[in-house]
Amino acid sequence: MDAIGAALSENQQRVKELRQLLQKASYAYYVLDSPIMEDSVYDQLYHELLALETDFPELITPDSPTQRVGEKPASQFHSVRHNIPLYSLENAFDSADLVKWQERWRRVAPDIHEFEYVCELKIDGSALALTYENGLLVRGVTRGDGITGEDITQNVKTIRSIPLRLELDDPPPTVEVRGEAFLPLSSFETINQEREQAGEPPFANPRNAAAGTLRQLDSRIVAKRKLDFFAYTLHIPVGGSRQSAVSEGEVQLDLLSNSADVESEHIPVPNARYPIPQTQWECLELLQDMGFKVNPERSLCSNLEEVQEYCNRWLTERHNLPYMTDGVVIKLNSLALQEQLGFTQKFPRWAIALKYPAEEAPTVVEKIRVNVGRTGAVTPLAEMRPVQLAGTTVSRATLHNRDRIAELDIREGDTVIVRKAGEIIPEVVRVLYELRPPGTQPFEMPAHCPECGQPLVKPEDEAVTRCINASCPAILRKGLEHWASRQAMDIEGLGEKWVVQLVDNGLVRAIADLYDLTIEQLLTLERMGQKSAQNLVEAIENSKSQPWSRVLYGLGIRHVGSVNAQTLAEQFPSVEALAQASIEDIAAVYGIGNEIARSVHEWFQNPANQALINRLQTAGLKLAGEVSPVRDSGNAPVNQPLSGKTFVITGTLPTLKREEAKALIQAAGGKVTESVSKKTSYLVVGEEAGSKLEKARALGIPQLTEAELIQLLNASGD
């Protein structure tokens, strides 16, 4: 078989797998009301199939999901034919796709030189088609397959933001309105809490909850769940004319309103007391006049640059909205131009939906291996086919522990759904067992450490498997990297590649060995030059001046982060004081609990750790600090102006390093944490602030600039 034939055979099998999975997902969503995957995952698989069929058109079959508009409606409701058929919108995933789209429609209308775009947020809910006769709501229908939908009029009437009567003195005989029913996030959380209390499975996301709610046979349940609705387009038939409607997948709709040819014939609407819209923007304004809620975050843009600015803005700001949105719908504003451009076989040429990067995506597990951390925790990792996720390329994901492996039943070769936990750490959410190749074997955690060969142990009260060999090279490497990190001893130049060589060459067998290194020894390392060796020796020597709290943090004691280390160093002003303290003494410190206290106490009871402390003292490190602040009987600091205040720092500050700002806050009695929560008092904001700023805004937490922080510190010191 030649190379072309082999590629065709391989892709033919993949096309078959994709079709089976997509068809099963569509059936589960549309017919059973029991989704098995998120929209973003469906989109990824769909576009993989579309790309393969584009490259190998001979693989296209009539039953392929790419050849269909939608799926069957649920059989529990009365099916009705849409007055206006609904078509899908083409998807774009980046600015390059938008440019290509503009080039395509301009080839169809080369004489058009002046135009505008309307940008609207793509609401993540469930599409509805509403029919009004003489101003009264007479029918509400789901999208269905785009030709036929489900009549859920009684349920639609429970949605308060849908007017039962249009607010027009002289309404048209017939009005078609399309929009999105959705669940506000607050309602979604309440519903899931109630379902969990009742022993029912929670909804996966607000969109599934909205769709499930609309299909309730009891409209009283629908009313209780407080669905909301945004209208975004309408059609007023004039002179018997009907135009095609458009739907973005199963969500975003768009209808043409009063086509240009009808308007040019000057067919009147008898006694009409409202303007006939000529643009999409005017349609939205008329919808508001009729009494509909229209999303206020829309924008009129004069070019693609402004469109991209709008999309970039809402990529981050959408997380502050009280509802879910996963993209932007862009439409040409002129209805006459829409009419001129018309449709392809499946899409309107005059509209497109920009989808934001998926927060979940499918990929294939190529290998499962384990990683040994600095505390000895053995963590299984999935090495995967690289995939774009939330704007970055992901090729590895944590599998947490033995229990999670068993729960997922994950195997090499599996297709999995991966996401970023907390928008930072990639993790596997679930396995798509339907795509599991034959002959796979369950993964078993190793019985021995892959680094040192010693037996692994799993404490009864923990889910984590551990290597307890203190001399394990993996534990030593991770411990050295932690010791040299910025929040610990801040040894500039001591990165991962040098740590690996130092351990592998036997130059460092414990942290204290760093302080015995010479330039001559370092020069034996691969690609280590004279200047680099001299700089590293100086950086190691300079780290001796770091305070006792940083040394304590650098030791890598389990559960002791930088904040806890600072707290303990304040209460126990020397290593001797902390080493001699009982579990009860340590646990009594404000902000320190029993788990941390036990971990610290056990660490100092270990003879190997005691020997390490002695060597660090001999090397000249600071293992004692200033006397801790006076504390009241509750162990809370007194006479400190920022006592009880919790700060989070995000972005790059103009003049202060983050550690300097942190030290100033702590010196005034404040606490600095890494994550924003309801307990955060202030967020200190610098340039290029990230998701912490978004969360702080959502929680209503006050923000401070560096100047305002300094002003607060100065005022507190008066």
DSSP letters spanning 575-616: HHHHHH--HHHHHTSTT--HHHHHHHHHHHH-HHHHHHHHHH
Q: So what's the pLDDT on residue 408? A: 92
Tokens of 430: 């679930």
- Cα–Cα distance measured from residue 590 to residue 307, given in angstroms and rounded to the nearest whole number: 52
Q: So what's the pLDDT on residue 144? A: 80
- Cα–Cα distance measured from residue 126 to residue 26, given in angstroms and rounded to the nearest whole number: 15
Q: Under a CB-based contact definition with an 8 Å cutoff, are residues 224 and 242 in contact?
A: no
User: Is 679 annotated in the active site?
Assistant: no
Q: So what's the pLDDT on residue 328? A: 96
Q: So what's the pLDDT on residue 238? A: 60
Q: So what's the pLDDT on residue 637? A: 42
Smallest Cα–Cα separation from 417: which of 400, 435, 403? 435
- Cα–Cα distance measured from residue 620 to residue 624, given in angstroms and rounded to the nearest whole number: 11
Residues of the chain predicted below pLDDT 70: 1-8, 26-35, 40, 62-63, 67-76, 87, 196-202, 204, 238-274, 345, 358, 390-392, 420-425, 590-591, 626-641, 714-718
Contacts of 674 (CB under 8 A, 6+ apart): 648
Candidates 72, 122, 367, 695; catalytic one: 122
- Cα–Cα distance measured from residue 124 to residue 324, given in angstroms and rounded to the nearest whole number: 5
Query: Residue 132 — φ and ψ, nearest 5°?
Result: -115, 135
Helix residue spans in 651-690 (DSSP H): 658-667
Helix residue spans in 109-167 (DSSP H): 153-156
Q: How distant, in Å, are the alpha carbons of 368, 376, 402, 557 from that of 455?
A: 20, 12, 15, 22
Report pLDDT digits (tens) over 445-455.
999 999 889 89
Q: So what's the pLDDT on residue 8? A: 66
Torsion of CA 33, 36, 40, 41, to 10 degrees: -150
Q: So what's the pLDDT on residue 74? A: 45
State the pTM of this model: 0.47
- Cα–Cα distance measured from residue 648 to residue 663, given in angstroms and rounded to the nearest whole number: 13
Sheet with 245-248, edge to edge strand ranges: 86-87, 245-248, 252-255
Query: Parallel, antiparallel, or unpaired for β 415-421 and 392-398?
Result: unpaired
Q: So what's the pLDDT on residue 370? A: 92
Q: So what's the pLDDT on residue 32? A: 52
